[in-house]
A and B are shown apart, each in its own frame.
Chain A
Amino acid sequence: MVLLLWLRWRLFLNSMRRRGRTAELGFQVLGVLFGVGFMMTTSLGFFAATIGLVRIARADLLDLLLWAIFLVWQLAPILFEGYSPGLSFREIARYPVSFRLYIFLSLVYGLSDPAAITALLWLLSVWLGIVVARPEWAFIAALPLLLFAAFNLLLNRIVIGLFERFQSTRKGRERMVFVMFMLIILINLVQLNASNWAQKRGPRLPPWVGQTITKVREFSPPGAALRGFRDHGFPEVYAFSGLTLYAALAFLLLRRQLRSLHQGEIYAEAYQVHHELKVRKGWTFPLVDEVTAAIMEKELRYIRQSARMMLQIIYPPVIFLLVAFNGVGRKNLFAGRSQALLPGAAVFILLSIPNLSYNIFGMDKEGFGRWLLAPLSLRKVLLAKNLTHGGILCSIYALMAMAVIATTHVPPALVLTVTVAFLAILIIQLSAGNLISVYWPRRIELTQMSSKLSSNAAGLVAMLVFFPLAALVGAVVLAAWYWRLPWLPLLSGAVALVAGVKLHSFLLDRAASYAWEHIEEITGNLGA
């Protein structure tokens, strides 16, 4: 067990050796402090809620707290997968460890998970709350709660085992990350529309829904744990027996799962063999040479192939459409003015740039070396990538502009002004992105939730670029309104566009020469 704890500590220390990791140690310490603060505060909340519910004679609602513990214990380790130094528990089976010890180690490892520690603290807080509010329940509540904890631990190890099985293939890992991001986006969308739905009076739920929920609450592990000490006499014994049955079943399932792992089960990815070989010609694009077209094709294939990257590109426009064509959203964000929709669309699209272009080599990873081996300059590579990303964003802008123009009246002069300003800001952002990409490259792991699409520094610089640009646009609009100069925004946009093109060319040279001078650093950061 000591060896296992040492291993976890060593994995953490070794992860600090990587270039740039030490600098992030400060953030990690802050994260840990925040985590501890969260644990303590929420535990206090559980303690106070328990006392409150027992004192107002609503102990029947305590199962809601147990449900929260149950869900966090089972789901948080999966949601936060990749945020802690990882250890595939299957690896332990390689060592001369008896099956009994293997089960024991699996349970100890499960207990050392931050989510398990938090859930245990909450459970302890619930018990302490019961002790304070109803001291005569102290002993009788301890047993079901302990059994509930044991059940959670066993079930969590089964869930993690299934998760590891899913994670053992590249496709499984990527699908899992995609599902997680979809869940996050779904929650965002629900939040966005919650106020809208709240204003509408919906149909009442049929009675069987409420009855089913009551039954589930009663017979579920959290419900059984509560009834194990709240009810008196036979119901209490039944509930306790039910909980024991849950725990025993979980133990048997875990035992079965671990047995196959201990005996050396290997998960492999199967694939379909295609016997007909057909290599299609590469893509071409208007106005660009063959080599640039090849690089653009590669970029587009990479983006299309990555569900996460697609999501990052599509997400801002989708949110915009939901807000723009929703009465409440439009009122809140655009003051109900249809003329603000097109500039709004442009801003939403420009928000995608940091994820797409501020770590331009992040997805290439080990393939970065191929750019160095090829008979072309890094300038050409950067330019081709910019053309691809710029092309994608311009296409989305064109679609959104058409949607806005089709549904509301937008004066042609406004369309022209916004389009010119959009192009100018896009080019300036891409220029900054090139420089940031070579200064702070970061390897993107599509199979890890925790892997960001760009570095922390890139995020900061993105703000340093975006806010002055936003302030400049605001100043121009204000000046045009104040001095009644309707042509000023268009003229300023055109000047910014020309300046942006010049800046892009200058920074492209700078980025390419910096990259060449720091090849080892970049390849090191990308793991190439």
Chain B
Amino acid sequence: MAETILQTVSLRRTFGPLVAVDQLDLTVEKQQFYGFLGPNGAGKSTTIKMLTGLLRPTGGEVHILGRNLATDSVEIKRRIGVVPEGLSLFERLTGAQLLNFVARMYGLPRATAAERSAELLEFMDLADSADKLVADYSHGMKKKTALAAAVIHGPEILFLDEPFEGVDAIAATTLKRLLQRFIARGGTVFLTSHVLEVVERLCSHIGIIQKGRLVASGSLEELRSGVKIAGHDHSPLTLEEIFLQVVGGARQDAEVLSWL
């Protein structure tokens, strides 16, 4: 039986009267590449923030690697890697200084921190800009730096919030290479993304959230078998078709923007 790496029980978060996440029960198993999808404002980023300690849940529990996040957060943080929504980078350090610093925050010895920083900078094609302030990096370079910072300590599970947003094709390929390598070596990935093609290609399991509630979850095959579209031929449903069916689909073009 597969080992459960991440489990949430009735996770809830409210902002005043707004219920951002409601009774969320998620289960992610070891070596799964879990794609967490949903329309804008569905609660994806709020969920990932609660899973990584950036936001306190209003209710419910989060268990990661068999430990309760509320009581064992430091030990959990030591074993997870995160690329948060705003990247959370100390932008007035150079790329090399930042990675070195993050590695040491996770308790890596100084020599190992320097070695891994150099390796990651090379891998991410950032070696030429290693001495430049992160503040002067392009968006794609910052994303790659954030991913390097997330993996430098060798985490067991990675949480990535929109890792492919605003990233060019070359940088995206680098990120995908790194993530596939991470999974192959026994890691687990939990990511949110709007790019359904990427999720369809990379993720083994998918969860769809809408208005704070989990409305679909399972492997792509399980979702395909669970979703029926009237009039659709026998070809396998794409993730986009499944997603639109589950979250309610788009309005008919004829009804809107008549002047366009």
A residues with a Cβ closer than 8 A to B are: 170, 269, 271, 273-275, 277-282, 284, 290-291, 293-295, 297-298, 301-302, 305-306, 363-370, 372-377, 519-520, 523, 528
Q: Is B74 an interface residue (CB 8 A)?
A: yes
Smallest CB-CB A-B distances: 3 pairs? A369-B88, A294-B104, A367-B90
Q: Which residues of A contact B136 (CB under 8 A)?
A: 170, 269, 271
With CB as the reference atom, state the residue of chain A lying closest to B84: A369
Contact: A373 with B128, CB < 8 Å?
no
Contact: B55 with A528, CB < 8 Å?
no
Residues 56 to 107 of chain B near chain A (Cβ within 8 Å): 56, 74-78, 82, 84, 86-93, 96-97, 99-102, 104-107
Complex A-B: 25 CB contacts under 8 Å: A271-B129, A271-B136, A273-B129, A275-B127, A279-B121, A281-B100, A281-B113, A290-B104, A290-B107, A301-B93, A302-B92, A364-B90, A366-B91, A367-B88, A368-B88, A369-B84, A372-B53, A373-B77, A373-B82, A374-B105, A375-B76, A375-B107, A376-B74, A376-B105, A519-B56
Contact: A279 with B102, CB < 8 Å?
no
Least distance between B179 CB and chain A CB atoms (Å)? 18
Contact: A367 with B89, CB < 8 Å?
yes
Contact: B89 with A366, CB < 8 Å?
yes
With CB as the reference atom, state the residue of chain B lying closest to A298: B101
Known pairs A305-B92, A369-B88 / 20 extra A-B pairs, C-beta < 8 Å = A170-B136, A271-B129, A271-B132, A275-B128, A277-B127, A279-B115, A279-B118, A282-B101, A282-B114, A294-B101, A298-B93, A365-B91, A370-B105, A370-B149, A373-B53, A373-B54, A373-B77, A373-B88, A375-B74, A523-B54
Least distance between A61 CB and chain B CB atoms (Å)? 50
A-B contact count (CB 8 A): 126
Least distance between A441 CB and chain B CB atoms (Å)? 15
Q: Which residues of B contact A374 (CB under 8 A)?
A: 77, 102, 105-106
Least distance between A114 CB and chain B CB atoms (Å)? 31
Q: Which residues of B contact A368 (CB under 8 A)?
A: 88
Q: Is B131 an interface residue (CB 8 A)?
A: yes
Known A293-B104, A366-B91, A368-B88; judge A277-B55 contact (CB<8 A). Answer: no
Interface string of B111-122 (1 = CB under 8 A from A): 101110110011
Contact: B104 with A375, CB < 8 Å?
no
Least distance between B166 CB and chain A CB atoms (Å)? 15
With CB as the reference atom, state the residue of chain B lying closest to A373: B82
With CB as the reference atom, state the residue of chain A lying closest to B126: A277
Contact: B90 with A370, CB < 8 Å?
yes
Q: Is B228 an interface residue (CB 8 A)?
A: no
A369 to B132: give the CA distance in the assembly, Å. Answer: 22
B residues with a Cβ closer than 8 A to A are: 52-56, 74-78, 82, 84, 86-93, 96-97, 99-102, 104-107, 109-111, 113-115, 117-118, 121-122, 127-133, 135-136, 149
Contact: B55 with A281, CB < 8 Å?
no
Least distance between B156 CB and chain A CB atoms (Å)? 13
Q: Which residues of B contact A293 (CB under 8 A)?
A: 104
Q: Which residues of B contact A273 (CB under 8 A)?
A: 128-129
Q: Which residues of A contact B77 (CB under 8 A)?
A: 373-375
Contact: B54 with A372, CB < 8 Å?
yes
Contact: B88 with A277, CB < 8 Å?
no
A162 to B204: give the CA distance in the assembly, Å. Answer: 54
With CB as the reference atom, state the residue of chain A lying closest to B110: A281
A282 to B104: give the CA distance in the assembly, Å. Answer: 8
Within the complex, which residue of A279, A306, A370 is in contact with B92, where a contact is CB–CB below 8 Å? A306
With CB as the reference atom, state the residue of chain A lying closest to B134: A367
A375 to B75: give the CA distance in the assembly, Å. Answer: 7
With CB as the reference atom, state the residue of chain A lying closest to B52: A373
The binding surface of chain B is classed by DSSP as helix
Contact: A375 with B86, CB < 8 Å?
no
Contact: B96 with A279, CB < 8 Å?
yes
A274 to B55: give the CA distance in the assembly, Å. Answer: 39
Contact: A367 with B114, CB < 8 Å?
no
Q: Which residues of A contact B97 (CB under 8 A)?
A: 298, 301
Within the complex, which residue of B52, B101, B130 is in contact with A277, where a contact is CB–CB below 8 Å? B130
Contact: B106 with A519, CB < 8 Å?
no
With CB as the reference atom, state the residue of chain B lying closest to A276: B127
A302 to B88: give the CA distance in the assembly, Å. Answer: 16
Q: Which residues of A contact B90 (CB under 8 A)?
A: 298, 302, 364, 367, 370
Q: Which residues of A contact B114 (CB under 8 A)?
A: 279-282
Contact: A274 with B82, CB < 8 Å?
no
With CB as the reference atom, state the residue of chain A lying closest to B128: A273
A279 to B104: give the CA distance in the assembly, Å. Answer: 13
Most buried by B among A273, A275, A370, A373: A373
Least distance between B185 CB and chain A CB atoms (Å)? 21
Within the complex, which residue of B88, B104, B117, B130 is in contact with A274, where a contact is CB–CB below 8 Å? B130
Q: Which residues of B contact A519 (CB under 8 A)?
A: 54-56
A282 to B109: give the CA distance in the assembly, Å. Answer: 9
Q: Which residues of A contact B99 (CB under 8 A)?
A: 279
A107 to B197: give the CA distance in the assembly, Å. Answer: 50
Q: Which residues of A contact B91 (CB under 8 A)?
A: 365-367
Least distance between A307 CB and chain B CB atoms (Å)? 12
Contact: B92 with A363, CB < 8 Å?
yes
With CB as the reference atom, state the residue of chain B lying closest to A369: B88
Least distance between A375 CB and chain B CB atoms (Å)? 4
A186 to B225: give the CA distance in the assembly, Å. Answer: 75
A452 to B151: give the CA distance in the assembly, Å. Answer: 36
Known A279-B118, A282-B114, A375-B75; judge A291-B105 contact (CB<8 A). Answer: yes
Contact: B88 with A370, CB < 8 Å?
yes
A170 to B136: give the CA distance in the assembly, Å. Answer: 8
Known A277-B121, A279-B114; judge A373-B104 contact (CB<8 A). Answer: no
Q: Which residues of A contact B84 (CB under 8 A)?
A: 369, 373
Contact: B105 with A294, CB < 8 Å?
yes
With CB as the reference atom, state the residue of chain B lying closest to A447: B135
With CB as the reference atom, state the residue of chain B lying closest to A169: B136
A306 to B90: give the CA distance in the assembly, Å. Answer: 13
Q: Which residues of B contact A277 (CB under 8 A)?
A: 96, 118, 121-122, 127, 130
Q: Which residues of A contact B149 (CB under 8 A)?
A: 370
Q: Which residues of A contact B78 (CB under 8 A)?
A: 375
With CB as the reference atom, state the residue of chain A lying closest to B96: A279
With CB as the reference atom, state the residue of chain B lying closest to A294: B104
A369 to B146: give the CA distance in the assembly, Å. Answer: 12
Q: Which residues of A contact B111 (CB under 8 A)?
A: 281
Contact: B96 with A370, CB < 8 Å?
no
With CB as the reference atom, state the residue of chain A lying closest to B87: A366
Q: Which residues of B contact A306 (CB under 8 A)?
A: 92
